[in-house]
Structure 1
């Protein structure tokens, strides 16, 4: 396993694709890990040096104590690129990975090529909602909550047709610590980039899911409208659209990033 020891966190990461290809960073959703991008790797690795990592407190990345912020999460990405001696990269983030990418584009504009914001929003959820989620995790544990949380990730039709893959998502979520999950919930509780996203200068693609119960397609359209020149595409999918529509998702990424 490969790890980068950063100033505030230790991150697990994995690289795929030609060493001399343009670098593409993939940032996971809350409760997922670098593994969530597995459906895209065979195609993306044909065109890019794909850098996946477990956001702090997820997967193989340890969970620092306390609440996290998107400033910290974006800083982790910058330091990971420093560790790998990468000056500039494309970035794709899904759900929580979206605000991480927005913050990265705002704080390190010289280091980003093209930006993909998938199934996300400049403000996800509410303060009360995330506070309640944090308390529920402390009370009930993420292991017990995972099956119900996954029901918001993918549509009922997809779960019925792909029960084994749905279980993979449940198991992925159960591998995180309650502490790490709660720390990232705090970043979502406190994060609101609605007044800032208009300053994003990177070419941007926003991907929405027509049946997304966590970040609606309307929120995706609003995000695209707020970022100068951004393009919006919508898939027939729920929240984790790269699993429900893997081929269509990969095509969108390759076409936009190579464009």
Structure 2
């Protein structure tokens, strides 16, 4: 664990894997922290110097006044890379992390080697979805975060997975209850306002899109849209709800490694 000093606070990060190996950045979803990737680390760290971080407003990272924007969160990633003297890296982000990955591909492609965007879309949801959630969280604070945690199990995992793996599901959803209400609401606004549908074609970085067959938050149609608009993009789909990296586990890790290690 370590902290990078940004202009307005500290960004929490963790490095795993051999020094000198190519860097792979992992970006968390809305309402989780860097530990959402724990299941991937042993496989990824065999080949990469894995850099994961708590997105602004999450985990142990800074919580600043909202609303945030995906551009702001993307600039945080660039500041992290700069602080650690990393010129170029692979990037893998899920949901909100996938929006950050799209922004980087569009605006800072020279910093990326390969890009993986998972369980995401060029536009996620509508103001009618996001605004009531933002209002509830800002009004009710920690009580709202617990209510969101309890509702998130059905969104993040299929019923059969949650029933068979209650400990794992609880470990992940407890991250949501522990998230700063102010930070969560500010990031909801960032997701609400992001729309890359007209910009995807400018991504020239080799890209893999991953979707979950049972993902009601970001259905496979959103992944197909990204694949269709990013030249040469590959596509993979797993039996999973929104957190395919957790539910698909080793199969997810294997497909990402296959893509990142391809010649």
Q: Sort the TM-score into its range (normalised by shorter chain).
A: over 0.9
Find the aligned partners of 1:251 and 1:8 in 2 and give their Cα distance: 37
Which position in structure 1 is the counterpart of 2:229? 226
TM-score by length of 1: 0.98
Map residues 166-181 of structure 1 onto 2, 5 A cutoff: 166-181=169-184
Write out the 4+ residue segments of structure 1 that deviate beyond 4 Å after TM superposition: none
Given that 1:206 and 1:220 are in contact with CA atoms closer than 8 Å, whether structure 2 keeps it comes out as: yes
> Partner of 2:26: helix, strand, or coil?
strand
Which position in structure 1 is the counterpart of 2:73? 73
2:190 matches 1:187:
yes
2:243 matches 1:243:
no
Given that 1:5 and 1:11 are in contact with CA atoms closer than 8 Å, whether structure 2 keeps it comes out as: yes
Find the aligned partners of 1:117 and 1:145 in 2 and give their Cα distance: 24
Structure 1 position 136, deviation (Å): 2.0
2:146 matches 1:146:
no
> Partner of 1:56: helix, strand, or coil?
coil
Map residues 1-259 of structure 1 onto 2, 5 A cutoff: 1-140=1-140, 141-259=144-262
Cα distance change of structure 1 residues 100 and 247 upon mapping to structure 2, 3 Å threshold: same
> Partner of 2:98: helix, strand, or coil?
helix
Give ranges in structure 1 of 5+ residues lacking alignment: none
Worse-superposed segment, 133-142 or 47-56:
133-142
Structure 1 position 175, deviation (Å): 1.5
Find the aligned partners of 1:116 and 1:235 in 2 and give their Cα distance: 15
Find the aligned partners of 2:218 and 2:181 in 1 and give their Cα distance: 23
Given that 2:145 and 2:178 are in contact with CA atoms closer than 8 Å, whether structure 1 keeps it comes out as: no
Given that 1:115 and 1:205 are in contact with CA atoms closer than 8 Å, whether structure 2 keeps it comes out as: yes
Find the aligned partners of 2:217 and 2:173 in 1 and give their Cα distance: 17
Given that 2:148 and 2:176 are in contact with CA atoms closer than 8 Å, whether structure 1 keeps it comes out as: no
TM-score by length of 2: 0.96
Q: Which whole-Å deviations, capped at 9, do the CAs of 1:180-199 have from their partners, x for residues lacking one?
A: 00000000111111100110
Give ranges in structure 2 of 5+ residues lacking alignment: none
